[in-house]
């Protein structure tokens, strides 16, 4: 039996995933969590074979949680399930140790297949993502400016581009406004841009926001 931990802060999403997983008699949802604290509590309570992790959890973002998971449980496979398109976060997630990346819109068709694939010790990516990874790893390939950002800086960029104020970003990420402003300054400097309008224009052009 494959024992699965679902980490998502939306009850309806968790219920939908459980319904999909029930279709396979060799899988069961052994635990659920809605934030980082609950994830690590559930892992202490019983054996888990794979974590299905949402990137947009409250408090610590999914990439940070993923890195913590891999540090504490290096052999525990993690499948990222996100509302964000692959070209926004998938490469970062795989670099951070994820065993696969699925968008939520493809979960109904691919979730069970992805879990089976991953628990066998393999990676699971879509053909489109596989092509993007090949290009990313190709020596001499010029990479876009946003790929020079750290995960936190990239998150700040996306939130600014999504119309969030410094106060809203600080509240969402549990950071001080001064810390958010520091990250914003780093983003502007690394990307050689002058203001938020430049960041928003870039993010739209590169499909980093909806």
Residues 8-35: tens digit of each pLDDT:
999 999 999 999 999 999 999 999 999 9
Residue 50 in this model has a pLDDT that exceeds 70: yes
C-alpha dihedral sign at 163, 167, 168, 169? positive
Give the residue-averaged pLDDT of 138-167.
81
The residue to which tokens 């109904």 are assigned: 108
Please name the residues in contact with 144: beta carbons below 8 A apart, sequence gap of 6 or more: 206
Q: What is the pLDDT of residue 175?
A: 86
Residue 61 in this model has a pLDDT that exceeds 80: no
Cα–Cα distances (Å) from 192 to 22, 160, 187, 197, 205, in that order, read: 50, 16, 8, 13, 16
Q: What is the pLDDT of residue 187?
A: 92
The CA-based diameter of the chain, rounded to the nearest angstrom, is 55
Cα–Cα distances (Å) from 77 to 82, 88, 201, 210, in that order, read: 16, 21, 37, 29
**Burial of residue 172, with CB atoms counted within 10 A of its CB: 0-12 exposed, 13-18 middle, 19 or more buried:** middle
Residue 139 in this model has a pLDDT that exceeds 70: no
Look at 190 and 131; give whichever has higher pLDDT. Answer: 190
Residue 58 in this model has a pLDDT that exceeds 80: no
Residue 60 in this model has a pLDDT that exceeds 80: no
* Distance in angstroms (rounded) separating the CA atoms of residues 61 and 152: 9
How many percent of the chain have pLDDT more than 90? 50
Give the residue-averaged pLDDT of 120-124.
91
Residue 153 in this model has a pLDDT that exceeds 80: yes
Residue 135 in this model has a pLDDT that exceeds 90: no
The mean predicted confidence, pLDDT, of the chain is: 87
* Distance in angstroms (rounded) separating the CA atoms of residues 108 and 111: 6
* Distance in angstroms (rounded) separating the CA atoms of residues 61 and 155: 9
Q: List domains and CATH numbers for the chain.
A: 2-137 (3.40.50.2300), 145-205 (1.10.10.10)
Q: Which two tokens stand for residue 167?
A: 């106060």
Residue 170 in this model has a pLDDT that exceeds 60: yes
Cα–Cα distances (Å) from 166 to 148, 170, 198, in that order, read: 22, 6, 16
Grade residue 87 by pLDDT with cuts at 50, 70 and 90. Answer: low
Q: What is the pLDDT of residue 151?
A: 83
Look at 7 and 87; give whichever has higher pLDDT. Answer: 7
Q: Give pLDDT tens digits for 173-183.
A: 888 999 999 99
């Amino acid at each position: 039996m494959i024992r699965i931990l679902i980490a998502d802060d939306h009850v309806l999403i968790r219920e939908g995933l459980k319904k999909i997983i029930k279709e396979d008699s060799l899988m069961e949802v052994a635990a659920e969590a809605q934030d980082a604290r609950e994830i690590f509590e559930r892992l202490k309570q019983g054996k888990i074979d794979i974590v299905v992790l949402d990137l947009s959890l409250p408090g610590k973002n999914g990439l940070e949680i993923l890195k913590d998971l891999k540090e504490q449980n290096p052999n525990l496979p993690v499948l990222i399930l996100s509302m964000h398109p692959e070209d926004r976060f998938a490469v970062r997630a795989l670099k951070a140790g994820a065993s696969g990346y699925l968008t939520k819109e493809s979960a109904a068709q691919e979730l069970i297949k992805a879990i089976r694939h991953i628990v066998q010790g393999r990676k699971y990516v879509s053909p489109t993502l596989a092509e993007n990874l090949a290009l990313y790893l190709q020596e001499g390939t010029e990479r876009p400016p946003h790929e020079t950002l750290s995960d936190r800086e990239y998150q700040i960029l996306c939130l600014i581009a999504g119309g969030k104020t410094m106060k809203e970003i600080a509240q969402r990420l549990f950071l001080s406004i001064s810390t958010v402003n520091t990250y914003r300054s780093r983003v502007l400097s690394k990307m050689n841009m002058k203001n938020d309008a430049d960041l928003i224009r870039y993010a739209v052009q590169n499909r980093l926001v909806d």
